[in-house]
Structure 1
Amino acid sequence: MKSYPESVAFLGQFGRFQQVVFFLLCVSIVPNGFGAFTLVFLVDTPAHHCRVPDVNLTENWRNAVIPLRVVNGKEVRNSCSRYRLDVVRNLSDQGYSPERDVNLTTLEEETCRDGWIYSKDVYQSTIVTEFDLVCNDQWKKPFTTTIFFVGILCGSFFAGQLSDKLGRKPILFATLALQTIFSFIQVFSVSWSMFTVLLVINGLGQMSNYMSALVLGAEILTGNVRLLYSSLGTCFGFAVGYMILPVCAYFLRDWKSLLLALSLPCLVFFPFWWFIPESPRWLLCQGRVEEAEAIMRKAAKMNKVQAPEVIFEDYLIVSKPTEPKPKEPHSILDLVGNLEIGFMTMILCYVAFTMSAGYYGISFNTTQFHANAYVSCFISGAVELPAYVSSWLALRYVSRRMSVIGSLALAAVPLYFIQLVPEGYSGLSLTLEMLGKYAITTGFGLMFAYTTELYPTALRNTAAGLCNTVARLGSCIMPYLLELRSYSPFLPYIILGSLAVLAAFATILLPESFGKPLPESIQHMHKRNNIKCPCLPKAETPVAVVLMENTKS
């Protein structure tokens, strides 16, 4: 029986049809780049202090009513308290001077009863300033980021299974519509609660359409073009969106304007529906051979080549009603029902969790890279370009397993070494952190392609969705992981480095997929991957198989 690549070899690898699919799918991923990191600017907290109402105070007392505290060796205004206003007003009325007559440290303090004054040196407004997510409500800031990734987690879980049942193309455009529409509606939020509810719905489509586009392109394209798309094309689309974000945010310092600028242009993607086909592999898997052939004949016209009279002859024979073959229902249970497949899935999920926690942890720490948050974010995005080139080269010339192990090890080393950098060598710290970002991004790019290569067509999107779901758990804990800097600035780095080392050792147990065709069925997957679980006894070779091999020899 001919494989899918053999059946469509008459098209060539990169004709006009493949070019259109390649380019449009990569462009459709751009919104994920800026959508995933918009919260870097939306939830950033500008300098702030208690608002002092317009009361009868001298200028000296108005400047002194906010207590001072020492942060990193510098005196700054307290963000969450002020001296009791009635006491200060009484002292001011009596003519006392705050510099000469009063020991300010003995005065009683109170909370910011009249709200806050926010610095507008960097932002005109963020959701932090809009909804006062500071002081007693400061917990809402990391929770906002976490709830966004919870939405992504749920979307990844359900979209993967729906894509395997309903098709790659409908889910791709449904999730793209979801994130576009709800990014726009968020502009009209009147409360933090409303904003977070809309943010969760936005998150449902945020990375789900990335996975659908990745799998769709990987199943349509073949050979080296498939590798180029899976590693470099999709990732470059994401990185371009990432770098667009700080440019837009620099010119649009108001959070509502930024959301509008990032959501409305996405409407141009919906006409892509008429140019991007459904996955022929998926159609064949569903027994819809005529539809798959129609797509290939249209592709042949675009590429100006002659299609065979019957393109998928072997699939037509298999699907004849005279030879009924019961269709196996596949679900997420197939990923864990078998011990060996479950073992492989468990390792892939853990590696994806580690990659996600490291990637988003370093990326959301971007405002610490440079005094200018916009420059920091752009640098963080730009580092991804060489990282994705590295992942493409690794996918083309190096084994998958060794590539993932190498990227995890290279990420762990600089994260451990950051704590050894002497104070004052910020440039060296930045270099180490960017090296860690480069390595973890390279690994992230590898894992998408690696996962799709290990599973058969019927389970490919479900498996990618499950791994992506578990990966989102890593991004969900990331905001609170970064909060550990209040105990030690190096604690998040140590945790992320340790996770990477463990993931590198776990990857040794995964099967290799380099240079092997995509599996079309679970049986093909078992035969090709030769999964071995160290906790299980080695299976004995059946006697019938031994006799058959001896007969052949």
Structure 2
Amino acid sequence: MTVQTRNYDEITSFLGKWGPFQRMIFISLAASILPNGFVGIYIVFVADTPSHECRIPEEYNISATWRNVSIPMVMKDGTLQRSSCFRYKMNAIRNFSDLNYIPDVDVNVSAIEQEKCNDGWIYSKEIYQSTIVTEWDLVCDNEYKIPLTSSMQFMGALAGTFISGQMSDRFGRRPVLFATMVIQVVTIFLQVFSPSWELFNFIFFLVGFGSEILSPETRVVFCSLGVFLSSALGYMVMPLVAYFLRTWRGLLVAMAASGLLYIPLWWFIPESPRWLLSQGRVEEAEAILRDAARRNGVTPPEVIFTPTEVESALVKREKKHNILTILRSCNMTSVTVLCSALWMIITLGYYSLILNTSNLHGNPYFNCFLSAIAEVPAYFIAMLLLKYTPRKLCQSSTLFLGGIVILFIRLVPTDLPGVAIFLEMVGKFGITSAFCIVYAFTSELFPTVVRNMAMGTCSMTARISTIISPFVIYL
């Protein structure tokens, strides 16, 4: 006679569905996500480009009249503005100034030959006291370095996806979770002391590596309204902190200091009993579950895991599934490709909108805060749609809303910036809802045995979009 073995959820059903223990774990994991809400986007302020123009050194002894016209006027966003990358040749300007010529009376200023900003730039300090752009002159010919900086973090996150799951399987969920938290905090703090853009980028890669704190399987389990809202809360806090800390180094110190939130979590987040069981560490797994039962006020069974169930868990550990399991089925291969494409599209739109907030008209701090606020109703609406409407309708409607509204932004006149900002926030609302829905939708399309592998594949391909997204806003 075949002995029917229970699955893990059936074994632990004596704990109940939502007791004090589950709430403690949920809140603790949500708190661990909180700093990621601003770690992922502080580059919006750290690498923003203030208004700037070529520096005209005082030692050139140019008259005030000629100094005022030494920067060419260029058409930008429908208005005439002083050039950010060129000036009129200083030799000619100095000669005309020494001869007391009058601009556009004795000399046609626009006919004077132009040159690059050979003496560097002066930057407006109206919004920022300093950014990495002003620190290392990442403008004009070096402007490409700004999106490349953001991409470096996302490259680090992509590298993290390759090993986070394997490390968790080998060393346990809890040690890897806290180890990557430490990596994240330490590397952000090290960025403060970066003497060059190159070293800043290298450390930023490690920051991204540390930000991949949850393996794909764990992320799916805890991908819920509370965790999404926790990330959104961190997102909302970040522009408020940045508003009062106008230097990029000061902001990074504050971001690193947020890691202090992680310390108490060590005493609230236990190792995964499921993982302990898969390693044959039955006594430790049972000890955690008995403590959970005590917290929930229930009586655990005398024997939680039977020898047969322990043996079954060990067998499952040895039976590994990889991408070939998916590729053997034409249907699952097609679904994986389509889901990966969907993840890439949504992720590209989501991060492009986040990184573009500092380029919108008006105060960048307020615009970033609005972008964060837009996420809150988006998550609630996504959960309601998932509960009451078909999955395809959920996904397609939110994507359509986000896409069509963003297309309409191109039709808004330049003298109506408020309308453009409103439409972008509506678009952010739609894309954020789609981002939330795609997690649940994708996980339901695959059998249990390959679900984690499929989700990991989709997550990995989505990282490619995040790497590209910083360059999209420069198109």
Q: TM-score, normalised by structure 1?
A: 0.79
RMSD over aligned Cα atoms: 2.5
Q: Distance in 2 between matches of 1:311 and 1:173?
A: 28
Tell me which residue corresponds to 1:299: 292
Tell me which residue corresponds to 1:154: 159
Contact 2:53 2:84 in 1 (8 A): yes
Task: State yes or no: 1:249 paired with 2:245.
Answer: no
Task: State yes or no: 1:267 paired with 2:272.
Answer: no
Tell me which residue corresponds to 1:405: 396
Q: Can you list the C-alpha shifts for 1:124-143, whole angstroms capped at 9, x where unaligned?
A: 01100001001111111111
Q: Distance in 2 between matches of 1:29 and 1:325?
A: 30
Contact 2:53 2:121 in 1 (8 A): yes
Tell me which residue corresponds to 1:373: 364
Contact 2:321 2:453 in 1 (8 A): no
Contact 1:126 1:255 in 2 (8 A): yes
Q: Secondary structure at the match of 2:292?
A: helix
Please state how far the C-alpha of 1:481 moved relative to its aligned partner: 1.8
Q: Secondary structure at the match of 1:110?
A: strand
Please show how residues 465-480 of structure 1 align to structure 2 within 5 Å: 465-480=456-471
Task: State yes or no: 1:41 paired with 2:30.
Answer: no
Q: Distance in 2 between matches of 1:437 and 1:137?
A: 29
Tell me which residue corresponds to 1:18: 22
Please state how far the C-alpha of 1:308 moved relative to its aligned partner: 1.0
The list of structure 1 runs, each at least 4 consecutive aligned residues, that deviate by more than 6 angstroms after superposition, is 323-326
Tell me which residue corresponds to 1:28: 32
1:2 pairs, out of 6, 15, 18, with 6
Identify if the C-alpha distance between structure 1 residues 165 and 457 changes in structure 2 by more than 3 Å, giving closer, same or farther. Answer: farther
Q: Secondary structure at the match of 1:188?
A: coil
Please show how residues 162-241 of structure 1 align to structure 2 within 5 Å: 162-209=167-214, 211=216, 214-215=219-220, 218=221, 230-241=223-234
Please state how far the C-alpha of 1:239 moved relative to its aligned partner: 0.2
Identify if the C-alpha distance between structure 1 residues 394 and 210 changes in structure 2 by more than 3 Å, giving closer, same or farther. Answer: farther
Please show how residues 34-433 of structure 1 align to structure 2 within 5 Å: 34-55=38-59, 56-209=61-214, 211=216, 214-215=219-220, 218=221, 230-313=223-306, 316-320=307-311, 327-421=318-412, 424-433=415-424
Q: Can you list the C-alpha shifts for 1:89-138, whole angstroms capped at 9, x where unaligned?
A: 12211221224321111212221111110000010011000010011111
Q: Distance in 2 between matches of 1:247 and 1:380?
A: 13
Contact 1:231 1:388 in 2 (8 A): no
Identify if the C-alpha distance between structure 1 residues 456 and 300 changes in structure 2 by more than 3 Å, giving closer, same or farther. Answer: farther
Contact 1:159 1:465 in 2 (8 A): no
Q: Secondary structure at the match of 2:269?
A: coil
Q: Can you list the C-alpha shifts for 1:27-69, whole angstroms capped at 9, x where unaligned?
A: 1101111011111111111111111112222111222222222
Please state how far the C-alpha of 1:231 moved relative to its aligned partner: 2.1
Q: Which deviates the most, 15-24 or 82-91?
A: 82-91
Tell me which residue corresponds to 1:440: 431
Identify if the C-alpha distance between structure 1 residues 176 and 458 changes in structure 2 by more than 3 Å, giving closer, same or farther. Answer: farther
Q: Which deviates the most, 263-272 or 122-131?
A: 263-272
Q: Distance in 1 between matches of 2:67 and 2:386?
A: 63
Identify if the C-alpha distance between structure 1 residues 444 and 399 changes in structure 2 by more than 3 Å, giving closer, same or farther. Answer: same
Q: Can you list the C-alpha shifts for 1:370-392, whole angstroms capped at 9, x where unaligned?
A: 41100100000000001111222
Contact 1:83 1:110 in 2 (8 A): yes
Identify if the C-alpha distance between structure 1 residues 455 and 172 changes in structure 2 by more than 3 Å, giving closer, same or farther. Answer: farther
Q: Distance in 2 between matches of 1:394 and 1:380?
A: 21
Q: Can you list the C-alpha shifts for 1:492-517, whole angstroms capped at 9, x where unaligned?
A: xxxxxxxxxxxxxxxxxxxxxxxxxx
Q: Distance in 2 between matches of 1:264 and 1:245?
A: 13
Q: Which deviates the most, 279-288 or 372-381?
A: 279-288
Q: Distance in 2 between matches of 1:413 and 1:63?
A: 44
Which residue type is aligned with residue 186 of structure 2? I
Which residue type is aligned with residue 130 of structure 2? S
Identify if the C-alpha distance between structure 1 residues 71 and 174 changes in structure 2 by more than 3 Å, giving closer, same or farther. Answer: same
Which residue type is aligned with residue 152 of structure 2? I
Q: Distance in 2 between matches of 1:33 and 1:324?
A: 38
Identify if the C-alpha distance between structure 1 residues 168 and 333 changes in structure 2 by more than 3 Å, giving closer, same or farther. Answer: farther
Which residue type is aligned with residue 180 of structure 2? T
Please state how far the C-alpha of 1:286 moved relative to its aligned partner: 4.4
Q: Secondary structure at the match of 1:383?
A: helix
Contact 1:239 1:385 in 2 (8 A): yes
Q: Distance in 2 between matches of 1:450 and 1:175?
A: 28
Which residue type is aligned with residue 481 of structure 1? V
Q: Distance in 2 between matches of 1:465 and 1:277?
A: 24
Matched residues, percent identical?
A: 44
Aligned residues: 469
Q: Distance in 1 between matches of 2:317 and 2:185?
A: 40
Please state how far the C-alpha of 1:292 moved relative to its aligned partner: 2.5
Q: Which deviates the most, 395-404 or 369-378?
A: 395-404
